[in-house]
Amino acid sequence: MTEMNRRTFLKNSASAVGGAALAGLAGRAGAAEKPETAPASKPTARGNRIATSTYSFWRFMPDTKLSMEECIKQAAEMGFDGVELLHMQMEGEDNGYLQKIKQCALANGIDLCGFSIHQGFLSPDEQVRKQNIDHTVKCIELAYKLGIPSMRVNTGRWGTSKNFDELMKNRGIEPALPGHTEEEAFEWVIQALKACLGKAEECGVTLALENHWGLCLTPQGTLRIIDAVNSPWLRVNMDTGNFLEDPYDRLETIAPKTVYVHAKTYYGGGLWYTLDLDYKRIAAILRKQNYHGYVSLEYEGKEDYRTAMPKSLAVLRSAFSGA
């Protein structure tokens, strides 16, 4: 190849390579200007975390009152995400004991998500109401020390039933004390709850008023109190088993203000009554309200808890999976 031909060849080759490079750059620039958009992926459905109350192990039966630590360990073995502590089941209240419970929960990968107490403001005696306010405030502080963000409270009952069995026989309906009215009672309860709110806000513990017996026997009664108190620190603890008739419409009424859920099951037949609850339907009601909080099992059947609680967990896990 002559020198002239070599120069021509190299010149033409360089032009070809340069042109290809420029074409490649142009192509990449064009791609940058018109990026390919991947199809939008559907958001993953978010299910609810499933907890259990320590009450599920005990149910006030004479032979199954386990320690808090044992309840936590067994709940973890069964596959629950969290545990709700029943105050009256605890063995103490000193700080060392509380921190021991918290450490046990940490070691077992369990959330301490709820604290359930027994108190009542439905009394004409101002001193009795004051004692129950003081008890509630003390329990808020216990929940704070345990790192628990929610605490179940009730209105209390008139006490005109002979016992709880009689109250259940009468479907939770109880007459007022002679000489008093429900109108008075609503005011007692509203003012007592307002007296607890300062401590609740200070400690970051949301009070969850359960649709229980007493003034919260109906959704209207429950919401009347919530609306009158009018605070973000008082919301509803939905109990799926405490509306004995027409439960779904009633649960739907309180769902918008629900912050915590108790889910009842009754394997082996209920201790006082049995409800055949459709948890997929209940989950759909809560999903409409964008409820992402805890669903806490309160097992209340006669079957051994060691077989009934895992079955209950499977039902709740399926219903509240978010699918």
What's the whole-number mean pLDDT along residues 81-109?
98
Kindly report each contact of residues 16-21 with a partner whose C-beta sits within 8 Å and lies 24 or more positions away, as own/partner.
none
Nearest CA among 184, 178, 245, 165 for reference residue 211: 245
pLDDT of 39 > 60? The answer is no
The amino acid at residue 129 is R
Most confident of 127-136, 160-169, 175-184: 127-136
The number of beta carbons lying within 10 Å of the beta carbon of residue 284 is 13
What's the whole-number mean pLDDT along residues 42-51?
82
**Range name among 21-25, 136-140, 234-238 with the lowest pLDDT average:** 21-25
pLDDT of 21 > 70? The answer is no
Higher-scoring residue by pLDDT: 316, 24: 316
Q: Mean pLDDT over all residues of the chain?
A: 89
pLDDT of residue 2: 43
pLDDT of residue 256: 98
User: For the chain, which domains are there?
Assistant: 50-319 (3.20.20.150)
The amino acid at residue 199 is K
Interatomic CA distance for residues 267 and 308, integer angstroms: 6
pTM attached to this predicted model: 0.85
3-state secondary structure at position 23: helix
Nearest CA among 160, 193, 155, 157 for reference residue 179: 160
Report helix angle 219-229 to 247-254, nearest 10: 10
Contacts of 88 (CB under 8 A, 6+ apart): 117, 118
pLDDT of 257 > 80? The answer is yes
CB 267 within 8 A of CB 301: yes
pLDDT of 273 > 60? The answer is yes
CB 50 within 8 A of CB 315: no
